[in-house]
Chain A
Amino acid sequence: MLNRILFFLAISHLPSAICHLHAQDSLSVQKKPEQTIEFLGEGFLNSNTITNDFILAFYKGQFINDVLKEGVTEKILLSNRLGGASKLGFTYSEHSLEGNKKPVFSFSFFDRQHLDMKFSDDLFNIIFYGNKKYFTNQSAYLGDFQLNLLRYQQFRFGWNFSGDATHGSYGFSFSLLSGEQNVFVKAPTATLFTSDDGTYSGNYIDFAVAMQVHQTDTANKKIFAQNGMGLSADFFYELPYTVWKKPGTIIFEVKDAGLIRWNSNSMHYSADSSYHYDAIDVSDLFNLDSMASPLNIDSVIDKNTKFEKGQYTTNIPFTLDIHTKSFYGKQIAFEKGIIFWFNTSAKPYYYAKLHFIVGRKKYADIAYIIGYGGYGRFNAGLEAKIDFAKHYSLHVIDNYLFSGIAHTSYGMGLYLKLVRRF
């Protein structure tokens, strides 16, 4: 695997150019440095239902008590979302000489992970409360379920072109993707009915499900394992404008539009069946070893299950971000926008940032953030971009800064980037 990384590292060693970092992964260029290298680590996990305490207890392998469960069920909806992503890597940029209009070239390597889940309230209750409390003599609707776990490594090559007063800046990049793992489950229809009417034949469980499962090679799960290859592309266009004598920019940005083709060792399972279960049949009650089968399903209706191996394609999650940034003097800017998530369960994310910009030699930008949508509910946080030494800048964003205050808060995450200019 490392050979492959080195291969891409090697071919990225292209002639120097004056650089300008790529869109949202970069800081604004202040002093036309020749080269920059930046280390980026970001991740978030958010839900409109699952609280942070619940997630942390689950993650740490703790006992999930009734308080944690009730924290979820108080706000649970018919359809719920849980999602997250992480991105870890570095970017090396080479800038052209001052005044030169050559594009800024950058190369990046990122380890990417995505989690996307959509589930019903009944599914949560069945899993964490069991079938007795809410579903005796009732149907639990477990459908409209989707789970997508995705991990891949990204080798990105980008070019940015600076604009002027009449022409916007723009940039594009393409990435080679090395697919590591994917688990995809989709169950549009699933119901579980638990009957207990007090009669002998009235004790049974009916389960109907239509589902598809795709999973990459489970025998090849080591770090940076390669189970597929893919391509993706990014694009942005930044157009300056002036409204009411206030300068501003509007930015259109597409990130990670692409796909991964998984190899032929991938597994596919599909089912469209109904099951009726009313106990394991034993021929001799005093000898439980006499059971007919370990799990005796009394009747299977429309049994249509299939298992096979083969290639498949995953459209990776990508975003379209449209936002504007208006400047009110040199020290205040207001930014607002919307992010559309594709190939995920997330809703559009609306956000606004109020920037306070200070400093001349030492640049500092502090922004207050509020947002709504995505995988979660309302969120609020802070963003800071600071030049803290002659050649260093730090960019920190916490969109869920106030989530840690309340026990039943939603969402957690951090964006951290360190830039070294040469």
Chain B
Amino acid sequence: MIIDIGLTQKYPSLRGRFARSNPSEIFCEIASPKSGLAMTLVRKSYDNLKLIIPFLIPYTIYLFFFSSCRKEAGHPSWDVDVLAPLVKSTLTINNIIPDSLLQQNTDNSLDIVYQSSLYSFSVDSLFQIPTATIDTAYWLPFPIFLSQLSTIVPATTDETKNTQGGAELTDVILRSGTIEIMLRSQVKSMIDFTYKILSAKDPFGNVFNKTFRIPAATSATDGVYTATFDLSGYKLDLTGLSGNKVNTITSYYNAIISPAPFGDTVTIQPYDSVVISNKFIDIVPQYAKGYFGHTVSNIGPDSTNFSLFNHIIDGTLQLEDIDVGFSIENSIGADARVTIDTLSSINTRTGSTILLAHSIIGAPVNLNRAVDNNGNVTSSTYSISFNPSNSNIKQFVENLPNKISYLMDLEINPLGNVSGSNDFVYYDKLMKTQLNMAIPLSLIANNLTLADTLDFKMDKSAAHVNSGTLYLYAENGFPFTAEAQLYLMNDNFTIVDSLISAPNAILAPQLDANFICAGKRLTKLAIPLDEDKLQLLKNIKKMYIKMKYNTAGQPNYVKIYSFYEMNVKLVGDFNYTVGK
């Protein structure tokens, strides 16, 4: 009798067995055939040894699994009270106003320099490129028998003139656009169609020249061929075959019976036709030349967004000085006359509108044409400055507008075709109006409130915080008091709770006789986080931050200098579960 003791299942390379060679003798063998090693115990008394087997089994189990049972237990956990600084930062004026908008003066005072475009011209407002050159049908009223290679549409040169309002164009270079050609045939044979736009040449001087094969028609369906070709970079000569026309596209086409396996002749039935049509799509000129006509356009009333004060939601701002440059730059090779009828500062939050009062309002401004020196365009610019002494620009800006509204008249070529049809325009060189603001940061802020919405996601490690308090240490070196509040928003952007308990004001430091900050002032704000608030923090995805500023030393203006800064440090004092 041989008993396999089961080691082979876990260790296939082993052989283990108890065997009884005769009634009074047994042996135990554990062997590894692979390594050639073996252990054999021989015992004459089978009855004695068999009693050990019950102990061997639990012993073996214990031996193999005792050390692994700990791994299956959970991780222990406990609460600790942690006090540790978490994050710190130094806030400068650049954290409030982007440095791209700041200009530092020699005395380290700062100006806000802000540009806003009011109105930009487009080529479409001058003229439009023709949309079609051919749209014709060719047919015979009686049957005719044609052999292969016979002409079915004779060679035709066609001039198509498009009226462009008052514009008379002679040359156009296309920046982008395509031509779509569609051919429809009722002839029951394939037709080879040749189409050329004689006035269109690619950048290498090759005429647009294409040959298409129109499928044969059947008794049920026409033969149709459609193709689209990119015209980017093509130069159009719009002076026709004679060279003295305008707005004229010259094309050429003809058609023959294709060599095809349908026999020697093709019968053309009465009224079988070949229809040819094409159109230009999304044509954008890179350059155009000619006479743009005498046009008068009313621009507006319209408005443009003004983002400088976008984050201000409340309060007032008084500026000591301001200078706003208004400029009109004409890069078009045509004379222009601009009349600004109205220019308004609109604050949609308060509903307040301030009309600019200045001598330019209602007065026409003549703009000379730009000069083209082989692609180098010299613009003509008209500039004027709005300042507190010649306008109400201070009230205009202190209205904290988020929109600038305008109403203008634009007249092109007010004196007619004085250039001899040499008006020109480039795609990226047009006419634009711009406001150039320089606002010295010398101001009085009264409850000036800035707000913004931030994305928020609690860090995974913070999920084990049970409760605690965050302390915000702020060493304020700016000449203003800042009241900070953080609001928690739910998925519907509704504020559900706030974080900072009162008092929540970061106090301003003392000012010296020149209203410059004399050092920094430390304020410690507490942000208590109980279990409910922490649960909210774990769930929200948005946080609304609101800062209310009041300048120190009022009613005097205070300047903001580049060296002002605020040191901020967040210290955590919280109960945390370790090992959860």
Binding site for B on A (CB under 8 A): 2-3, 6-7, 9-10, 12-13, 37, 39, 41, 57-65, 69, 88, 90, 111, 113, 127-133, 136, 151, 194, 196, 198-200, 203-205, 223, 277-286, 288, 291, 391, 418, 420, 422
Nearest to A284 among chain B residues (CB) is: B95
The residues of B that contact A7 with a CB separation of less than 8 Å are 35, 37
Q: A6-B37, A90-B59, A129-B80 provided; 15 other pairs, C-beta below 8 A?
A: A2-B14, A10-B37, A60-B74, A60-B76, A63-B76, A88-B62, A111-B63, A132-B81, A200-B475, A203-B571, A279-B88, A279-B569, A279-B570, A280-B88, A282-B87
Contacts A128-B80, A284-B95, A285-B91 hold; do A59 and B86 have CB atoms under 8 A apart? no
Q: In the docked arrangement, what's the CA distance between A2 and B95, Å?
A: 67
Q: In the docked arrangement, what's the CA distance between A69 and B79, Å?
A: 10
B573 within 8 A of A: yes
Chain A nearest CB, measured from B461 CB (Å): 11
State the main secondary structure of chain B at its contact with A: strand
Chain A nearest CB, measured from B219 CB (Å): 71
Chain A nearest CB, measured from B111 CB (Å): 23
Q: In the docked arrangement, what's the CA distance between A151 and B67, Å?
A: 11
Chain A nearest CB, measured from B577 CB (Å): 8
A111, A132, A204, A223 — which one has the most chain B CB atoms within 10 A of its CB?
A132
Contacts A279-B86, A286-B454 hold; do A41 and B76 have CB atoms under 8 A apart? no
Q: In the docked arrangement, what's the CA distance between A130 and B78, Å?
A: 10
Chain B residues 122 to 151 lying within 8 A of chain A, measured CB to CB, are none
Binds A, one of B40-48, B194-202, B405-413: B40-48
B32 within 8 A of A: yes
A-B contact pairs, 29 of them (CB 8 A): A3-B32, A3-B35, A6-B14, A6-B39, A9-B30, A9-B39, A13-B39, A41-B62, A58-B76, A59-B76, A60-B73, A62-B76, A63-B76, A88-B62, A88-B66, A128-B80, A129-B80, A130-B80, A130-B81, A132-B81, A200-B473, A200-B522, A203-B85, A205-B85, A277-B85, A279-B571, A280-B87, A420-B51, A420-B52
The residues of B that contact A128 with a CB separation of less than 8 Å are 78, 80
Chain A nearest CB, measured from B30 CB (Å): 6
B77 within 8 A of A: yes
Q: In the docked arrangement, what's the CA distance between A277 and B66, Å?
A: 43
Q: In the docked arrangement, what's the CA distance between A69 and B578, Å?
A: 14
CB pair A223–B68 under 8 Å, yes or no, is yes
A63, A277, A278 — which one has the most chain B CB atoms within 10 A of its CB?
A63
Lowest 9 CB-CB distances: which A-B pairs, in order? A61-B74, A130-B80, A279-B85, A279-B88, A64-B78, A132-B83, A132-B81, A285-B89, A130-B81
CB pair B88–A130 under 8 Å, yes or no, is no
Q: In the docked arrangement, what's the CA distance between A57 and B570, Å?
A: 35
Q: In the docked arrangement, what's the CA distance between A418 and B63, Å?
A: 15
Q: In the docked arrangement, what's the CA distance between A62 and B570, Å?
A: 33
Nearest to A35 among chain B residues (CB) is: B43
The residues of A that contact B67 with a CB separation of less than 8 Å are 111, 113, 151, 223
CB pair A280–B473 under 8 Å, yes or no, is no
Contacts A37-B52, A223-B64 hold; do A131 and B83 have CB atoms under 8 A apart? yes
Nearest to A421 among chain B residues (CB) is: B48
Q: A-facing mask of B1-34, CB < 8 A → 1, else 0? A: 0000000000101100000000000000011101
Chain A nearest CB, measured from B250 CB (Å): 61
B342 within 8 A of A: no
Q: In the docked arrangement, what's the CA distance between A200 and B522, Å?
A: 7
CB pair A279–B80 under 8 Å, yes or no, is no
Contacts A3-B37, A6-B39, A203-B473 hold; do A133 and B59 have CB atoms under 8 A apart? no
The residues of A that contact B570 with a CB separation of less than 8 Å are 279
The residues of A that contact B89 with a CB separation of less than 8 Å are 281-285
The residues of B that contact A60 with a CB separation of less than 8 Å are 73-74, 76
Q: In the docked arrangement, what's the CA distance between A10 and B35, Å?
A: 12
The residues of A that contact B68 with a CB separation of less than 8 Å are 223
The residues of B that contact A3 with a CB separation of less than 8 Å are 13, 32, 34-35, 37
Chain B nearest CB, measured from A422 CB (Å): 6
Binding site for A on B (CB under 8 A): 11, 13-14, 30-32, 34-35, 37-41, 43, 45, 48-49, 51-52, 55, 59, 62-64, 66-68, 70, 73-78, 80-89, 91, 95, 452, 454, 473-475, 522, 524, 545, 567-571, 573, 576
Chain B nearest CB, measured from A38 CB (Å): 10
CB pair B55–A418 under 8 Å, yes or no, is yes
Nearest to A88 among chain B residues (CB) is: B63
Q: In the docked arrangement, what's the CA distance between A57 and B59, Å?
A: 27
CB pair A59–B70 under 8 Å, yes or no, is yes
CB pair B83–A196 under 8 Å, yes or no, is yes
B74, B473, B567, B568 — which one has the most chain A CB atoms within 10 A of its CB?
B473
Nearest to A283 among chain B residues (CB) is: B89
Q: In the docked arrangement, what's the CA distance between A326 and B83, Å?
A: 60
The residues of B that contact A13 with a CB separation of less than 8 Å are 39-41
Q: In the docked arrangement, what's the CA distance between A9 and B38, Å?
A: 8
Nearest to A7 among chain B residues (CB) is: B37
Nearest to B65 among chain A residues (CB) is: A223
CB pair B84–A285 under 8 Å, yes or no, is no
CB pair A422–B45 under 8 Å, yes or no, is yes
Contact of A61 among B37, B55, B76 (CB under 8 A): B76
Q: In the docked arrangement, what's the CA distance between A291 and B82, Å?
A: 22
CB pair B524–A198 under 8 Å, yes or no, is yes
Q: In the docked arrangement, what's the CA distance between A223 and B65, Å?
A: 9
Chain B nearest CB, measured from A5 CB (Å): 9
The residues of A that contact B86 with a CB separation of less than 8 Å are 279-280
CB pair A278–B88 under 8 Å, yes or no, is yes
The residues of B that contact A280 with a CB separation of less than 8 Å are 86-88
Q: In the docked arrangement, what's the CA distance between A223 and B64, Å?
A: 8
CB pair B37–A130 under 8 Å, yes or no, is no
Q: In the docked arrangement, what's the CA distance between A199 and B49, Å?
A: 79
Nearest to A57 among chain B residues (CB) is: B76
CB pair B84–A131 under 8 Å, yes or no, is yes
Nearest to A69 among chain B residues (CB) is: B78
Chain B nearest CB, measured from A1 CB (Å): 10
Nearest to B75 among chain A residues (CB) is: A61
CB pair B55–A130 under 8 Å, yes or no, is no
Contacts A130-B80, A286-B545, A422-B45 hold; do A204 and B85 have CB atoms under 8 A apart? yes
Nearest to B459 among chain A residues (CB) is: A288
Q: In the docked arrangement, what's the CA distance between A200 and B524, Å?
A: 9
Chain B nearest CB, measured from A203 CB (Å): 5
CB pair B84–A6 under 8 Å, yes or no, is no
Q: In the docked arrangement, what's the CA distance between A88 and B67, Å?
A: 11
B474, B545, B569 — which one has the most chain A CB atoms within 10 A of its CB?
B569
Nearest to A126 among chain B residues (CB) is: B80
Chain B nearest CB, measured from A150 CB (Å): 13
Q: In the docked arrangement, what's the CA distance between A62 and B86, Å?
A: 29
The residues of A that contact B59 with a CB separation of less than 8 Å are 39, 90
Q: In the docked arrangement, what's the CA distance between A37 and B473, Å?
A: 72
The residues of A that contact B51 with a CB separation of less than 8 Å are 391, 420
Q: In the docked arrangement, what's the CA distance between A41 and B34, Å?
A: 32
Q: In the docked arrangement, what's the CA distance between A164 and B80, Å?
A: 63
Chain A nearest CB, measured from B366 CB (Å): 48
The residues of A that contact B70 with a CB separation of less than 8 Å are 59
The residues of A that contact B576 with a CB separation of less than 8 Å are 130
Contacts A223-B64, A279-B87 hold; do A199 and B78 have CB atoms under 8 A apart? no
Chain B nearest CB, measured from A61 CB (Å): 3
The residues of A that contact B88 with a CB separation of less than 8 Å are 278-282
Chain A nearest CB, measured from B578 CB (Å): 8
The residues of B that contact A12 with a CB separation of less than 8 Å are 39
Nearest to A194 among chain B residues (CB) is: B83
Chain B nearest CB, measured from A394 CB (Å): 11
